[in-house]
Structures are given as C-alpha cells and as structure tokens.
C-alpha cells in the first residue's frame, strides 16, 4: 500500500508540473502576441505621419520612426526619403544644397492643395542620427534619394541617379512623378534680381537718352542696332528665359566637385547659360570676320589675317559648343575637333 501511495503521489506531482509548464508557455506566447499586436494600426500610422508633416513638410527620422513609419507594414502610402550627412564635420559639400532643393519640393507638395494627400510623405535620414539604418540599407555615400513604395521593397528604379539628373527640385519632382504618378509643381521663393536688373537697365537707357537728347543720330546706326539684335538673340538662345522660368542654381555640386554644365538635356545651370552665350557670340564673331575677309576692300594681308582668325574662331568655338551639347544629349554621335 505504501508503494502504491508513493507511486500515485509521484504521478500527481508529474502531472501538476506538466500543467504548470503548459500554463507558463501559454502565458509567454500570449505576452509575445500581445507585444506583437501592440504596434500601430495603419490608420494610427497615417494619422501620426500626417500630424508630423503638418508641423514640418520633411519628417526627420530616427531609428524608431524609420522602422515604424517607413519599413512598418501595412502601408498604403509612399515615402520619399533623403539619406544625407548634414554635419559640417562630414565634409559633404553637396548635402546642403540637396537639402535646400528637397525642402523646396516638400513645401511645394505640402502647400499645393490640388496634389497634397496622405499618400506621399517626405522623410530625412541623417547619418549622425541613424548610422545603423545606413548600414542596413548598404549606403556608403550621401545624399541618396530613395522611394519606399506602399507595397513591397524599393527596387533599383526607386533609387534616384543624382549623377545623371542632379539634385534640383525639378529633377526630383520628375523622378517622383515616374515612381508615384503624383505630379508636383515646384514653387521656388521669389527672386527679385531680374526685376532689379530691368529697373537698372531702364534707368541707364533713360539717362543716356536724356544726355544725348540733342544728338540722337546714333539711333539710326545700323551697326548699333545689329549688335543689340544679336545680344537679344544670344540671350534667348543661351537659355535666359529658362532661367527666369525655372530659377535654376548657379552651379551644380556633385560628388566629383562643382559642375558648370548640367549633365542632362532636361536641365541647365546659370553659369552654363553665360558659357553658351559667350560661345555663340564667339562663333558669330568668327563668321563675321570670314564674311568681311571675303567681301572687304581693305589690304590683302589684313583680309588674310581676318580669314585665318575668323576660321579658327568658328572651328574652335563651334567644336566646344557641340561638345557641350553632346555631353548633355547622351548618345549623340557627332563631334567636331573635340569630343
């Protein structure tokens, strides 16, 4: 009887132990599920992003925010994230101008009621605050623009090629339209330099006419009118109207340094405009020298010099302007003198 009682006690103890283990395991699973279900719902996530973007069009991310809002699922919105290094100690010369352009396009989207919605958000990820994110994304340069779609992971096309298109707001807007079908019209802060220049020119011309009011024969000078006409033609053909409409940057900062020629045929820089203006004027001057050498009645030696100089100017500067066009229109097969 004692043996049977001992056996029953042992079996009872074993059963109780198994039941306790099952309860502990079940409680652990429940706590895990509770922890997993404690994440934000889609509605809460969108609401928080909307509140943050209402305060600032660009949401500054940390590791927790990035994992929750950018990589968290489910999502029904896209995120355009700029990975950058804004600290001066990092020595990223292009990061500052890229951030300014990114701010312009984010503001253009935020304050345009026709396109603004909670289907697109702009985020900034700084290296000094989110080094682990850079490592997980395998990013070793900055700045980088990446589109995180509503479904799935970013593809190769979701990473913008800034070496080809630059970092201007207009270029970023075109890339965003390709990835999200959302067209953003870029609104830049007003620039009054053109108005001031027009006022100064008007005052100068008015002052000149006033001083020469008793002798206005120069108004009938064909050469003066010809030079003025060429100046207007060079202004328009070099892209001055583009500058007034698009307000492009003066130069383009790339990872290779400062660029004076935009790398795409869809863009142009202010310095590039003046370069094209000067080359067009030099080509025209060379052509004028060739015409005067052929039709002139001056000394034959002088005409020969004009011929050689005119031909050299035309060939050299035409080759240069054709080289610029070839560098912008990728795939253009022709060149002259220089490639």
Q: Average pLDDT, stretch 91-107?
A: 90
- pLDDT on residue 31: 38
Q: What is the pLDDT of residue 188?
A: 83
Rounded Cα distance between 72 and 153, Å, is 11
What pLDDT is recorded for position 294? 85
244, 188 Cβ separation under 8 angstroms: no
Average pLDDT over residues 78-99: 90
- Cα–Cα distance measured from residue 40 to residue 48, given in angstroms and rounded to the nearest whole number: 10
Tell me the pLDDT tens digit for each residue of 316-333: 999 999 998 888 887 788
Give the pLDDT band (50/70/90) at residue 301.
confident
* DSSP secondary structure string for all residues of 251-288: SEEETTEEESS-SSTT---HHHHHHHHHHHHHHHHHHH
Does residue 13 surpass a pLDDT of 60?
A: no
CA distances from 287 to 144, 234, 278, 296 (A): 46, 15, 14, 14
Shortest CA distance to 148 belongs to which of 54, 49, 52? 49
Q: Give pLDDT, residue 129.
A: 92
User: pLDDT at residue 311 above 50?
Assistant: yes
Q: Which residue has the higher pLDDT, 264 or 46?
A: 46
Please state which of the ranges 19-28, 155-164, 199-208, 223-232 shows the lowest mean pLDDT: 19-28
Q: Does residue 208 have a pLDDT over 70?
A: yes
Question: What is the C-alpha to C-alpha distance for residues 92 and 324, in angstroms, rounded to an integer?
Answer: 27
317 with 283: CB under 8 angstroms?
Answer: yes
pLDDT range class, residue 6, cuts 50, 70, 90: low
Say yes or no to pLDDT of 277 above 50: yes
**Statement: residue 269 has pLDDT above 50:** yes
Domains and CATH numbers, the chain: 42-180 (3.40.30.10), 215-328 (no CATH)
User: Where residue 26 falls among pLDDT bands split at 50, 70, 90?
Assistant: very low
For residue 9, is pLDDT > 60?
no
Segment 176-197 mean pLDDT = 86
Q: Which residue has the higher pLDDT, 247 or 37?
A: 247
For residues 159 and 138, give the distance between their C-alpha atoms in angstroms, rounded to a whole number: 13
* Gap between the Cα atoms of 316 and 314, Å rounded: 6
Residue range 111-132: mean pLDDT, rounded: 91
What mean pLDDT comes out for the span 56-66?
93
Nearest by Cα to 116 from 105, 132, 129: 105
Q: What is the mean pLDDT of residues 9-21?
A: 52
The pTM assigned to this predicted structure is: 0.54
Mean pLDDT of the chain: 83
Q: Which of 34-48, 51-65, 291-305 has the lowest mean pLDDT?
A: 34-48
pLDDT for the residue numbered 284? 94
- Confidence tier at 39 by pLDDT (50, 70, 90): low
Please give the pLDDT value at position 29. 42
């Amino acid at each position: 009887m004692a043996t049977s009682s001992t056996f029953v006690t042992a079996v009872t103890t074993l059963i109780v132990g198994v039941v306790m283990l099952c309860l502990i395991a079940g409680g652990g699973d429940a706590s895990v599920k509770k922890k997993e279900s404690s994440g934000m719902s889609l509605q809460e996530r969108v609401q928080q992003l909307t509140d943050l973007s209402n305060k600032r069009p660009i949401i500054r991310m940390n590791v927790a925010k990035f994992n929750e809002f950018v990589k968290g699922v489910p999502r029904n919105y896209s995120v355009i994230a700029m990975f950058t290094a804004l600290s001066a100690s990092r020595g990223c010369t292009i990061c500052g101008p890229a951030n300014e352009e990114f701010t312009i396009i984010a503001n253009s989207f935020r304050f345009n009621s026709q396109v603004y919605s909670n289907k697109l958000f702009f985020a900034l990820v700084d290296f000094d605050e989110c080094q682990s994110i850079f490592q997980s994304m395998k990013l070793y340069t900055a700045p980088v623009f990446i589109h995180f779609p509503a479904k799935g992971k970013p593809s190769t096309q979701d990473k913008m090629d800034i070496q080809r298109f630059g970092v201007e707001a207009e270029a970023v807007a075109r890339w965003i339209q390709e990835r999200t079908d959302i067209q953003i019209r870029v609104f830049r802060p007003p620039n009054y330099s053109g108005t001031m220049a027009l006022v100064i020119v008007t005052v100068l011309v008015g002052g000149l006419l006033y001083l020469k009011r008793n002798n206005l024969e120069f108004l009938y000078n064909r050469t003066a009118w010809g030079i003025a006409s060429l100046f207007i033609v060079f202004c328009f053909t070099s892209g001055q109207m583009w500058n007034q409409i698009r307000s492009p940057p003066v130069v383009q900062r790339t990872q290779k340094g400062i660029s004076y020629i935009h790398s795409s045929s869809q863009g142009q820089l202010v310095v590039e405009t003046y370069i094209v203006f000067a080359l067009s004027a030099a080509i025209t001057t060379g052509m004028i020298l060739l015409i005067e050498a052929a039709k002139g009645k001056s000394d034959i030696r002088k005409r020969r010099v004009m011929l050689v100089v005119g031909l050299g100017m035309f060939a050299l500067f035409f080759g240069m302007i054709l080289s610029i066009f070839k560098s912008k229109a990728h795939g253009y097969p022709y060149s002259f003198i220089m490639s």
